[in-house]
Structure formats: C-alpha cells, structure tokens
C-alpha cells in the first residue's frame, strides 16, 4: 500500500468566509480525507493584521501577513483567495496559477474583471481555478451548469442573486415600510454592508450574472454593458400596486439567449413576478435560480446566498474538487473547460431589444386631463396600456398613476419615459419596473 498523499492548502484572507472554511474543514476533515483518499492540511493563513483577535484560533506559526508568500509557498497545492478586491487578489491568484497550483475563489468581482486572464493562466500552467462560492453561496449552481446540465444549451437563466436586496424587499413588503428604514435595519443586523451601493444598485447581482452568462454561453459580459437597475426607488406603494395586479417584486438577474438570432441579453432589474410563482415566494436572504435547458426543461435551485457557513460549504466543495483533480495528475481537466469557446458565437443584444411588459409609476399633479396626456404620449410611441391604477400620492396635491403595458420594446419605452418626464403634470422621475412573464 502506498502512503496516503498529503494536500496542503493555503488561505489568503481570514475574515468571515476564511474563518468559516477553517472551522468547517477542521470539523469535516476526517470524513473528507476518507472520501478523497488524501490528507488535507490547512498549512498557512495570510491575514491583513496579525495582531487582530479572532474567534477561530490558529497556531501563530501558521499565520502570516504576506498573502503572496502563501500563494507562492512551494509546499502548498491549493490556494483559497478569500480576500476580495481586484488588486492584490488578482496578483495572488495569478501568482499561484503560474506555479501550477489550483485556486479556489469566492470573488465574483475579480472573475468579472479578469476572468479571461485568470482562466487562460490556469490552463497554461495545468492548474485549476474554481469558483463555486462566487455565485449564490451554498447552492451548487456552478457545478450544476458546467457538469450536471452539460447536455444543455440555456435559452434562459434568471433568479435572485443578491440576498441583501431580497431581504430588504421582503421586509419592505411584510412591514409595509419604506426603503430607507429597512436599509438602516438591515445594516444594524449585518445583512447590508456599511456602503450598501454595490448591493442595492444591482452591481453585485450583475457581477454574478456575468459569471453565469460566461459559464452558460462562453462570453464575458461586463456589468457596464448590461441594463443594471437597483431597488432604491421602490416604495411600499409599489408592493401594494403589484399585489393588486397579482404580482410580487424581486430584484432579478436575467440571462436570455435567443438561439435563432444568437443574441444574448444579460440584465439586472427589479421585476414583477406572478405571485404564485416559486421565485416570487423566495424570501429573506435566500437566493433562487431558474435554469431552462433545451434538453432538461426548467430546473430551479434555492438556498442561502451568502453568509459564513453557506459560503464555506461552497469553498470546501471546490477544495475537494481541486484535491480530486490533483490526485488525477497534471493533465486532469474539468468538464466544460472554460477556455474553449465551445458555445461562443453569440453577440450581445443591445438593451433596446428587450421585449417585455412594463409597470410604470408616475407621480402627477392631481388635476383633470393628466391621464389623457400620459396616454397620448404612450400612444405616440405605440405603447399599448393594459391597466391603470390611480391613487392619492404621499406628495401634496399629487396623485400616483400606475400603468402597465402590453408587450413593448425597451426602445419605445425609453422614448416614452423621456417624453413623460417632460410633461409639466409629471412631478417626479417616473419609476419603471419590468414584468417577468416566465411562466414557471
């Protein structure tokens, strides 16, 4: 019998996720080692500040404040980059990959900004870059897309990819409370960052959408190329109007590919979903992803989108995959090798090509004839109105005018918005939400 191989792991970054990985890997190591046929050793940990007190105690000899030293340590085969950011994190990732090591990452912003470079480097030097934790926390959606559903092309992927936004929207609806007070509460509870912009403006979900779009379609889409709209203009009244119309409101990432025109649309925006649909009922910090494959049909995945434990679960599964690949030797390859543009050929759809139904909320002067003027503007752009709700507004002498449209083109809708904003009777910047007619 040959000796059981030893695989040494280095952690760069020891915040919430890093400590979760240490804690759970220490707990499950005996099981994992039996199943992998290899010993897993947490060899070295790079922290930002050596003197900081931490809940998870690790021997001082294993600690360093030099992340690059961990990434280039000749004894270490698997490097977990859990620092975040796109500066040092990129250098550490590339340095480890250039040495043929495998890198496990939860860093969607890094992947989004430098994915092509990272995967090419991994491929060139025979290592692997694994990133299950970068999208939807503990839900094994990366593995599902790349391996479990490998027989499929993906006409549509959509879902809730940001737990902070989903928590805020859920609380706004349940408590009938305004955005600002729920955001403050979420910050107190640790569900929102001190600087909430990345989450509530939709950019975090856009990064994750970019990762999924690339996995599914082999194309890197930059968030700035997408329609990205956040949740910060939604009001409790929007939830009431949506409920009247039979909808809930979720911040969705939507990745749609038309295999006839080969146009790919990737976007993030608040969306009205039929209130009976499964995703409309996924609440709080949970994430949910609907994946429609051309062979399998629609499959749906729900779970916690973030947090120490869910993210650690994903990082450890990547460590196990990396260890498994290491045992196979240098030539071992993942299914769905990233650098092969197997499913390329699609082009990015201009945002104007979006075709959907819309929900439009206008704050207007409370006087006769306003609806006629609004309707006239919409008719001028061939936008067909499906329903109208008029309510008193919170603004004095104003009314709230809520319109839904039949299927319309984004291009016409944008021109409509521009013209409506110019009407003297329209007081505030209109709020435009899209209606998701996904039928599942």
Active site residues: 208
What tokens appear for 334 in the block?
């993942």
Helix (H) or strand (E) holding 395: none
Kindly state the smallest distance separating residue 304's Cβ from a copy of itself, in Å. 5
CB atoms within 10 A of CB 439: 7
* Cα 435 to Cα 325: distance, rounded to the nearest angstrom: 44
* Cα 26 to Cα 263: distance, rounded to the nearest angstrom: 46
Output phi, psi for 389, to 5 deg: -125, 125
CB atoms within 10 A of CB 331: 7
What sections of 218-288 are H helices per DSSP? 236-244
Kindly state the smallest distance separating residue 130's Cβ from a copy of itself, in Å. 11
* Cα 413 to Cα 108: distance, rounded to the nearest angstrom: 32
Residues engaged in binding a copy of itself (CB under 8 A): 24-25, 28, 31-32, 34-37, 132, 137-140, 143-144, 147-153, 276, 278, 281-282, 293, 295-304, 309-310, 312-314, 316-317, 320-321, 324, 327-329, 331-337, 340, 342-343
Output phi, psi for 72, to 5 deg: -105, 5
* Cα 94 to Cα 330: distance, rounded to the nearest angstrom: 18
Cα–Cα distance list, 292 to 83, 152, 274 (Å) = 33, 9, 18
Kindly state the smallest distance separating residue 67's Cβ from a copy of itself, in Å. 24
223 versus 303: smaller Cβ distance to a copy of itself: 303
Find residue 287's DSSP bridge partners: 303
Residue 25 in 3-state DSSP? helix
Cα–Cα distance list, 114 to 89, 93, 107, 210 (Å) = 11, 10, 11, 12
Question: How many Å is the maximal CA-CA distance in the chain?
Answer: 90
* In contact, 63 and 45? CB cutoff 8 Å: yes
Kindly state the smallest distance separating residue 280's Cβ from a copy of itself, in Å. 10
DSSP string, 325-346: HHHH-TT---SS-TTS-TT---
């Amino acid at each position: 019998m040959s000796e059981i191989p030893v695989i040494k792991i280095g952690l760069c970054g020891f915040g919430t996720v890093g400590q979760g990985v240490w804690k759970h890997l220490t707990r499950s190591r005996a099981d994992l080692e039996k199943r992998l046929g290899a010993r897993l050793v947490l060899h070295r940990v790079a922290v930002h500040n050596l003197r900081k007190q931490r809940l998870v105690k690790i021997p001082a000899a294993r600690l360093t404040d030099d992340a690059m030293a961990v990434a280039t340590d000749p004894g270490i085969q698997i490097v977990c980059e859990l620092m975040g950011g796109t500066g040092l994190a990129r250098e550490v990732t590339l340095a480890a990959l250039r040495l043929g090591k495998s890198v496990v990452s939860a860093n969607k912003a890094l992947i989004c900004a430098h994915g092509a470079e990272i995967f090419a480097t991994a491929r060139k030097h025979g290592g692997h870059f694994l990133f299950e934790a970068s999208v939807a926390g503990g839900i094994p959606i990366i593995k599902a897309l790349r391996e479990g559903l490998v027989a499929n092309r993906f006409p549509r992927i959509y879902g809730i990819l940001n737990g902070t936004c989903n928590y805020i929207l859920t609380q706004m609806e349940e408590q009938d409370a305004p955005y600002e007070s729920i955001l403050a509460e979420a910050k107190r509870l640790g569900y929102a960052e001190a600087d909430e912009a990345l989450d509530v403006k939709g950019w975090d979900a856009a990064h994750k959408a970019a990762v999924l779009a690339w996995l599914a379609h082999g194309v890197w889409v930059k968030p700035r190329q997408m329609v990205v709209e956040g949740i910060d203009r939604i009001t409790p009244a929007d939830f009431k109007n949506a409920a009247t119309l039979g909808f809930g409101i979720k911040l969705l990432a939507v990745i749609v590919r038309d295999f006839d025109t080969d146009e790919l649309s990737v976007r993030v925006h608040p969306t009205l979903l039929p209130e009976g649909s499964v995703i409309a009922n996924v609440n709080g910090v949970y994430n949910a992803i609907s994946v429609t494959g051309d062979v399998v049909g629609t499959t749906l995945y729900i779970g916690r989108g973030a947090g120490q434990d869910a993210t650690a679960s994903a990082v450890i599964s990547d460590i196990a995959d990396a260890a498994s690949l290491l045992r196979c030797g240098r030539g071992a390859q993942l299914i769905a090798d990233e650098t092969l543009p197997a499913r390329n050929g699609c082009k990015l759809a201009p945002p104007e090509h979006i075709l959907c139904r819309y929900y439009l909320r206008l704050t207007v002067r409370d006087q006769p004839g306003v609806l006629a003027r609004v309707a006239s503007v919409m008719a001028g752009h061939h936008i067909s109105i499906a329903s109208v709700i008029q309510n008193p507004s919170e603004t004095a002498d104003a009314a709230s005018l809520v319109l839904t449209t039949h299927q319309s083109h984004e291009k016409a809708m944008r021109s409509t918005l521009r013209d409506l904003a110019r009407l003297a009777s329209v007081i505030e910047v209109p709020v435009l939400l899209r209606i998701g007619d996904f039928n599942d």
